[in-house]
Amino acid sequence: MSKKILVTGSAGFIGSSFVKLMLTKGDYEVISFDALTYAGNLENLDSLKDNPKHTFVKGNIESKSDLEKVFDEHKIDGVINFAAESHVDRSIMDSSPFVSTNVFGTVNLLDFSKKHNVKRYLQVSTDEVYGSLGATGKFTEKTNLKPNSPYSASKTAADNFVRSYYKTFDFPALITRCSNNYGPYQFPEKLIPLMIMNALSDKDLPVYGDGMNVRDWIYVDDHCQAILEVFEKGRVGQVYNIGAENEMPNIEIVKQILSYLNKPESLIKYVKDRPGHDKRYAMDNTKISSELGWTPKYDFENGLKLTIDWYLDNMDWVERVISGEYRDYYKSNYSNR
């Protein structure tokens, strides 16, 4: 009999891509669970509409009654938690939704998963919990946690709860920490889709500070494949870093996007820096590659082209997701910078 897996945050960027992968790669039944916040969009799961192994449930991980209902209705074997508030700039404007979803929501989910004896729980986390690097070195799983933004502080708190449930209750938890993702269906508030969309409409491309902050970029499908491998083969109680060894300063990415779209660099506008802006992230992925044999498949040039082409072909998707709420957010984040 196929295993029943509860995937939370399944209508977001990475969660939706993961659910599609999981249903093609193994004998699973997926219960998709998502609150459909501004970042969650059922359209992202359209291709699964007629799939008998996929059930969508609208629900909030902050709500005990929503979780009770889904755990009572389905015999859940495993849980993968993608549900989160995920944007650093929003966490700087207001941290409270980050505490509610990322911390309280995760603790709720841990409690219900424990009560219902799930056999495996995977927490999807981020390299941002490690803080910021100088010019050299990489984050390993042993690096101390030193989050600098309210977003990363909330993800760190969640990771600490997951760890504590493993230690205290022998709860079968695993944690993955991944670097910056890019690819289709990413909400256009994040660097790469925001720059693509602004360039296409000849709007300013707002680069924070000097544009020399470095992120380690990974194509979303590579991240999803890594999560599946950790979920299936990882050792309980362990953390696995995921990254594609692809460090790039922001300004270089912005220039590559402009060049691919044949747009002038005069669209670049250097704006006031993000407060507490982490300088550099870089992941050491030795553990996952040596223990589980995972390696990334996409190189950045190819992945970026696939991503830009997807946005060019799906402008109507972007139009639909950038609701009134997003327009207000855009104005308050960028108009006085």
| Residues annotated as catalytic (active site), given as ranges | 127-128, 151
When CB distances to ligand NAD are compared, the closest residue is: 12
Kindly state whether residue 90 participates in binding ligand TYD, applying the rule CB under 6 A. Answer: no
Instruction: Produce one character per residue of 123-144: b if its CB has 16 or more CB atoms within 10 Å, e if not.
Output: bbbbbbbbbbbeeeebbebebe
**Does residue 276 come out as left (phi exceeding 0), alpha (psi in the -120 to 50 range) or beta?**
left
The contact set with ligand NAD (CB under 6 A) reads: 8-9, 11-15, 34-37, 39-40, 60-62, 82-86, 101, 105, 124, 126, 155, 178, 180-181, 187
Stretch that binds ligand TYD, among 18-26, 37-45, 60-68, 200-208 (CB under 6 A): 200-208
Q: Which two tokens stand for residue 208?
A: 């924070």
Binding-site partner at residue 101 among ligand NAD, ligand TYD, none, CB < 5 to 8 Å by type: ligand NAD
CB nearer ligand TYD, residue 42 or residue 271: 271
| Ranges within 169-188 binding ligand TYD (CB under 6 A) | 180
Q: Determine which helix (DSSP H) or strand (DSSP E) holds 192, and give its type and residue range.
A: helix 191-200
What is the rounded CA–CA span in Å between residue 231 and residue 335? 42
Cα separation of 1 and 290, whole Å?
A: 31
Kindly give, in sequence order, each residue whose CB lies less than 8 Å from that of residue 144, ignoring residues fewer than 6 positions away.
130, 131
DSSP output for 200-232: HTT--EEEETTS--EEE-EEHHHHHHHHHHHHH
Q: Does 132 bind ligand TYD (CB under 6 A)?
A: no
120 binds, among ligand TYD, ligand NAD, none (CB under 5 to 8 A by kind): none
**Binding-site residue total for ligand TYD (CB under 6 A)?**
12
Q: Can residue 215 be called a binding residue for ligand TYD (CB under 6 A)?
A: yes
Give the nearest distance from C-beta 172 to ligand NAD in angstroms: 19
Least separation in angstroms between CB 329 and ligand NAD? 13
For residue 39, the minimal CB distance to ligand TYD (Å) is 12
Residue 70 Cα to chain centre, angstroms: 23
196/308 Cα distance (integer angstroms): 7
Smallest gap from Cβ 106 to ligand NAD, in A, equals 9
Give the DSSP letter of residue 45: G
Q: How does DSSP classify residue 266?
A: G
Provide the minimum distance between the beta carbon of 262 and ligand TYD in the complex, in angstroms, as a whole number.
21
Residue 250 in the binding site for ligand TYD (CB under 6 A): yes
Can you tell me the distance from the alpha carbon of 257 to that of 231, in angstroms, rounded to the nearest whole number?
A: 34
Which does residue 116 touch among ligand TYD, ligand NAD, none (CB within 5 to 8 A, set by kind)?
none
The type of residue at 7 is V
Binding residues for ligand TYD (CB under 6 A):
88, 180, 190-191, 194, 206-208, 213, 215, 250, 274
